[in-house]
């Protein structure tokens, strides 16, 4: 992958881990049309990148993401032709919703600072979210006379209880990562000085896992969530058959039978 072609994001690849940093720190990493284009492009490429087994999304500098760029995404886009507006909105929606969810690799949000409005949809889209305890979250749309539009309300109603989500959407009150953890918006809040280390610990855990199995975990989870139970069961059965077929059997269970490892305590040795 040519990492240099991006400007609004920074992409770093190392030992199976690809880290993407939103790179507009002077604008608190607000999402501009260019940033949406670049995220759409990079995630499209990473899907097929065999050197990427885990992805971390974070923010450059001291912010995670201050939401949509209020000038470039709203004010300036209003005067653009409909075709341009549609295209930018399509990419903005796809990368934060469908693309992250359907990537075969697990994606971790490492929330290092401010997270507002549309920034929530990155957190909700990622499979795991770790935040610095002092990171500040807020659904600030109400404060500029609007509401959490686009996908924001949609994904929040899927993931939060109304007494939490509606409360923050109505009041625009900010809250810390500890509260984000309590209401289930993120996986875990950690002291700022441990953010990198704790995220890497999780990334390394995932790097030890069989990529075919990681893909199956994500598929089973999200298809179940969006399907009626009988359909979900059929899909689960098909995924199971496919994984066994791809492995040419059940190598993990074979290794267990030969007492080569204990699945309760760690991953089997898969063939890369």
* Interface with ligand COA (CB under 6 A): 27-28, 30, 66-71, 114, 116-118, 140-141
Q: What does residue 110 show for φ and ψ, rounded to 5 degrees?
A: -110, 100
Minimum distance from residue 138 beta carbon to ligand COA (Å): 7
Minimum CB separation of residue 74 from ligand COA in Å reads: 8
Task: Estimate to the nearest angstrom the gap between the alpha carbon of 123 and the chain centroid.
Answer: 6
d(CA 252, CA 260): 9
Nearer to ligand COA, 43 or 92 (CB): 92
Contact 165, 124 (CB under 8 A): no
Residue with Cβ nearer ligand COA (117 or 165): 117
Residue 28 or 53 with smaller CB distance to ligand COA: 28
The tokens for 64 are: 């995670």
CA distance 62 to 15: 25
Return the structure tokens found at 156: 């929040």
> Shortest distance, CB of residue 70 to ligand COA, whole angstroms?
4
- Distance in Å, CB of 60 to ligand COA, minimum: 13
Tell the smallest beta-carbon distance from residue 64 to ligand COA (Å).
Answer: 10
**Spatial separation of the C-alpha atoms in residues 114 and 136, rounded to whole Å:** 5
Least separation, in Å, of the C-beta of 33 and ligand COA?
12
Residue 196 near residue 203 (C-beta atoms within 8 A): no
| Distance of alpha carbon 240 from alpha carbon 97, whole angstroms | 25
Q: Is the Cβ of residue 6 or residue 116 nearer to ligand COA in the bound state?
A: 116
Please, which residue, 74 or 225, has the CB nearer to ligand COA? 74
Give the three-class secondary structure for 81: coil
No. of helices (H) and no. of strands (E), the chain: 11, 10
Q: Identify which of residues 68 and 199 has a Cβ nearer to ligand COA in the complex.
A: 68
């Amino acid at each position: 992958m040519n990492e240099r072609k991006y400007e609004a994001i920074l992409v770093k690849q190392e030992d199976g881990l690809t880290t993407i940093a939103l790179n507009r720190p002077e604008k608190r990493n607000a999402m501009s049309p260019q940033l949406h284009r670049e995220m759409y492009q990079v995630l499209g490429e990473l899907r097929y990148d065999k050197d990427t087994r885990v992805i971390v999304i974070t923010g450059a500098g001291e912010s995670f993401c201050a939401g949509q760029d209020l000038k470039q995404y709203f004010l300036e886009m209003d005067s653009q032709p409909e075709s341009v507006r549609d295209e930018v909105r399509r990419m903005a929606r796809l990368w934060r919703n469908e693309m992250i969810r359907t990537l075969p690799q697990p994606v971790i949000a490492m929330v290092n600072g401010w997270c507002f409005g549309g920034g929530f949809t990155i957190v909700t889209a990622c499979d795991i979210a770790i935040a610095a305890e002092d990171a500040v979250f807020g659904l600030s749309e109400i404060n500029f006379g609007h509401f959490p539009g686009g996908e924001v309300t949609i994904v929040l109603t899927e993931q939060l209880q109304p007494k939490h989500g509606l409360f923050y959407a109505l009041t625009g009150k900010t809250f810390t990562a500890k509260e984000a953890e309590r209401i289930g918006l993120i996986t875990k809040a950690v002291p700022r000085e441990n953010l990198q280390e704790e995220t890497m610990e999780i990334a390394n855990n995932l790097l030890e896992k069989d990529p075919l199995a990681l893909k199956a975990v994500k598929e089973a989870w999200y298809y179940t969530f969006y399907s009626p139970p009988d359909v979900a069961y059929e899909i689960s059965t098909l995924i199971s058959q496919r994984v066994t077929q791809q492995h040419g059997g059940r190598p993990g269970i074979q290794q267990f039978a030969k007492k080569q490892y204990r699945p309760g305590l760690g991953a089997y040795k898969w063939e890369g």
